Amino acid sequence: MKVDSVIMNRSILADFDGDRMVPENLNEDLFYNLDRATLLMRRHVIDVIGFHQVSPEQWEILQLIDVPEGITQRHLTSLTLKDKGNLSRILARMEKAEWIRRTQLPTGRGFSIQLTSKGKKIRERLPDMVTKQVERLLEPLPTDERTEILYCLKKLRILLGDDDVVT
């Protein structure tokens, strides 16, 4: 289809001028392609949410804090796969922007994180923007291929030990 013809044209051009931008061994490497696709998708998402001064990591956290009583920082560390230090820095920026508030847990060990009204407003606007951007980017792919990509990514997450995959 449309995407297949782009791939074929790129192959013809690469063979024509003799120069490949990416060595063939990398071009056929699964990790390289997953990492590269993630970085490219991330750039496109930043194009949409960056206007609101929200990073992809902050967007993810805003989506994960979906209960009025909040979520513990420990649970958020597990869900985001971020180390404690990195997550603390992200949360500090979000707290400074008044998107979240941290409340000490009754045990005195750790925090509960809740969205503020400002954080809720941002959270309500962004998912639709991100979804539309991803749909626009993947539009050239037939629906069954998009479904297959999602299925394969979920399967890969399960194989890699992600316990939070919903199939």
The encoded tokens of residue 39 equal 């970085």
Q: Is there a domain that residue 164 lies in?
A: no
Q: Is there a domain that residue 165 lies in?
A: no
Burial class (CB in 10 A: 0-12, 13-18, 19+), 114: middle
Tens of pLDDT, residue by residue over 57-91, are: 999 999 999 787 889 988 999 999 999 999 999 99
Tens of pLDDT, residue by residue over 91-104, are: 999 999 999 999 88
Three-state secondary-structure class, residue 152: helix
The total number of structural domains that make up the chain: 1
Q: What is the CATH number of the domain that holds 34?
A: 1.10.10.10
* Residues 60 and 49 sit within 8 Å (Cβ to Cβ): no
Between CA 129 and CA 51 the distance in angstroms is 11
Q: Is there a domain that residue 64 lies in?
A: yes
Relative orientation angle of helices 84-96 and 56-64, to the nearest 10 degrees = 90
Q: If you average pLDDT over every residue of the chain, what do you get?
A: 87
Q: By residue range, what is the domain housing residue 74?
A: 2-159
Between CA 50 and CA 59 the distance in angstroms is 10
Tens of pLDDT, residue by residue over 121-137, are: 999 988 889 999 999 99
Mean pLDDT of 93-120: 92
Q: Is there a domain that residue 56 lies in?
A: yes
DSSP tag of 66: -
Q: Is there a domain that residue 166 lies in?
A: no
Question: How far from 85 is each of 68, 73, 81, CA to CA, in Å?
Answer: 25, 11, 12
- This prediction's pTM: 0.76
pLDDT level of residue 141 (50, 70, 90 thresholds): very high
Q: Is there a domain that residue 51 lies in?
A: yes
Q: Is there a domain that residue 145 lies in?
A: yes
